[in-house]
């Protein structure tokens, strides 16, 4: 599925491409003719993405390190001969109640989700002479706070503030905020504790954030590639804010309670990355 778009000759850096939405996006860009540079900490996964894409450059880097943030841009520009777009499907999502969050968890979440993307953006803005496109992945959690996701939501709210400030300081570039809802399978929940999830899931009833079906990561990756192609094809249009949400009904309180019980038993998702309903 998807629409036909042509990304031939477009040079695109995907930060956070070793798994999840970033990996699917990078593969979808390459399948549509784009040239990719992929960044993240796990070198082996980045090499796998480049092999699966049939080309591209892998740039292992940790956004916690300021020098890595600059080097990602330098290496991508050197390998691709320039950059037309930089995408940030990057992030970590701690799941913990506010009274139990540590300074380390807060600091790491802000370093990855807010500071790193802005340092990479700064390096790319300084390296460019032509208008560029920057796309940041934010979360439905900004508009809908949830128990256990306070630190995560705070980082995404801060990310959105940086996007609005980038637009003010650099109107020659375009800074797109892409808000997405539940997407699986990805590795965003890799550090989730089943115990915390079982505690908070029933409390999410009525928020509408947990739906019977999640968006599939490859569908979202394809849509991000198509959105990028659309924005690049229309350089005089500021595509500021886009939202992708699951086209599916929210779950009721009793189903969320049952899911909480399954999470406590270690069964968060089934083999297809869907809720075990």
Instruction: Using CB under 6 A, list all residues that contact ligand NAP.
Output: 16-22, 40-42, 45, 61-64, 89-93, 112, 137, 139, 180, 182-183, 186-188
In the bound complex, what is the minimum distance in angstroms from residue 160's beta carbon to ligand NAP?
A: 12
Between 96 and 99, whose beta carbon lies closer to ligand NAP? 96
Between 234 and 242, whose beta carbon lies closer to ligand NAP? 242
Q: How many residues does the chain have?
A: 277
Tell me if 140 sits within 8 A of 118, measured CB to CB.
Answer: no
In the bound complex, what is the minimum distance in angstroms from residue 172's beta carbon to ligand NAP?
A: 25
| Cβ neighbours of residue 42 closer than 8 Å, sequence gap 6 or more | 18, 19, 60
The residue whose Cβ lies closest to ligand NAP is: 20
Between 43 and 237, whose beta carbon lies closer to ligand NAP? 43
Between 45 and 198, whose beta carbon lies closer to ligand NAP? 45
155 vs 109: CA distance, rounded Å = 7
Tell me if 261 sits within 8 A of 40, measured CB to CB.
Answer: no
In the bound complex, what is the minimum distance in angstroms from residue 67's beta carbon to ligand NAP?
A: 13
Between 155 and 171, whose beta carbon lies closer to ligand NAP? 155
C-alpha 128: how far from chain center:
23
In the bound complex, what is the minimum distance in angstroms from residue 229's beta carbon to ligand NAP?
A: 19
In the bound complex, what is the minimum distance in angstroms from residue 167's beta carbon to ligand NAP?
A: 19
């Amino acid at each position: 599925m998807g629409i036909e778009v042509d990304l031939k000759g477009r040079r695109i850096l995907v930060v956070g491409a070793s798994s999840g939405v970033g990996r699917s996006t990078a593969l979808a860009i390459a399948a549509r003719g784009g040239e990719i540079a992929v960044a993240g900490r796990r070198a082996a996964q980045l090499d796998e993405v480049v092999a699966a894409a049939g080309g591209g450059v892998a740039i292992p880097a940790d956004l916690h390190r300021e020098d890595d943030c600059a080097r990602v841009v330098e290496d991508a520009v050197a390998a691709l001969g320039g950059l037309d777009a930089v995408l940030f499907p990057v992030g970590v999502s701690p799941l913990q109640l506010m009274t139990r969050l540590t300074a380390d968890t807060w600091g790491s979440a802000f370093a990855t989700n807010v500071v790193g993307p802005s340092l990479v953006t700064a390096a790319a803005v300084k390296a460019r002479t032509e208008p560029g496109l920057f796309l940041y992945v934010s979360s439905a959690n900004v508009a809908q706070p949830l128990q256990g996701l306070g630190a995560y939501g705070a980082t995404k709210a801060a990310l959105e503030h940086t996007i609005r400030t980038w637009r003010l300081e650099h109107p020659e570039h375009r800074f797109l905020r892409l808000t997405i809802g539940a997407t699986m399978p990805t590795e965003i929940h890799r550090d989730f504790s089943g115990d915390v999830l079982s505690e908070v899931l029933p409390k999410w009833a009525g928020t509408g954030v947990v739906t019977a079906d999640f968006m599939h990561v490859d569908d979202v990756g394809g849509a991000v590639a198509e959105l990028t192609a659309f924005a690049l094809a229309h350089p005089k249009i500021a595509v500021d804010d886009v939202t992708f949400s699951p086209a599916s009904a929210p779950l009721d309180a009793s189903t969320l309670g049952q899911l909480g019980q399954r999470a406590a038993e270690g069964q968060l998702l089934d083999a297809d990355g869907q809720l075990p309903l």
